[in-house]
Structure 1
Amino acid sequence: MSTVSYYTAEGLKKLRDELDHLKSIERPKASQAIAEARDKGDLSENAEYDAAKEAQGLLEMKISKMEEVVSNARLIDESQLDVSKVLVLSTVKIKNQTNGMELKYTLVAESEADLKTGKISVTSPIGKGLLGKSVGEIAEINVPNGVLKFEILEISRD
Structure 2
Amino acid sequence: MDKKIYLTKKGLEELKKEHDELIKTKRPQTVGRLATARDMGDLAENAEYTAARDELGFIDGRIDELEDLVKNATIIAEKAHGKKSKIVNLGSKVIIKTKGRKEIFTIVGEWESNPEEKKISNESPLGKALIGKMINDKIEINAPAGKIGYKIIAIE
TM-score above 0.5, yes or no: yes
Amino acid at match of 2:50: D
Counterpart Cα distance in 2 of 1:104 and 1:46:
52
> Per-residue deviation at 1:12?
0.6
Query: Deviations 1:46-79 (Å, cap 9, x if unpaired)?
Result: 2321221121111111111111111111112336
Amino acid at match of 1:144: P
Please, what is the CA RMSD of the aligned residues? 1.8
142-151 or 22-31: which moved more?
142-151
44-53 or 16-25: which moved more?
44-53
> Per-residue deviation at 1:45?
2.9
Is residue 2:60 matched to residue 1:60?
yes
What are the ranges of 5 or more consecutive residues in structure 2 without an aligned counterpart? none
After TM superposition, the structure 1 = structure 2 runs for residues 1-158 of structure 1, keeping only pairs within 5 Å, are 1-78=1-78, 83-96=85-98, 99-156=99-156
Query: Deviations 1:110-148 (Å, cap 9, x if unpaired)?
Result: 222222322212111111111111111111112222111
Amino acid at match of 1:127: G
Q: Is the 8 A contact 1:2 1:68 kept in 2?
A: no
Query: Deviations 1:67-92 (Å, cap 9, x if unpaired)?
Result: 1111111112336xx92111011111
Task: Check 1:115–1:45 CA distance in 2 against 1; reply closer, same or farther (3 A cut).
Answer: closer
State the TM-score, normalizing by the size of structure 1: 0.89
40-49 or 122-131: which moved more?
40-49
What are the ranges of 5 or more consecutive residues in structure 1 without an aligned counterpart? none
Q: Which has the larger share of helix?
A: 1
Task: Check 1:37–1:89 CA distance in 2 against 1; reply closer, same or farther (3 A cut).
Answer: same
> Per-residue deviation at 1:149?
0.8
Q: Matched residues, percent identical? A: 39
Counterpart Cα distance in 2 of 1:55 and 1:100:
48
Amino acid at match of 2:96: I
Amino acid at match of 1:84: K
SS where residue 133 of structure 1 aligns?
coil
> Per-residue deviation at 1:104?
1.1
SS where residue 111 of structure 1 aligns?
coil
Aligned length: 153
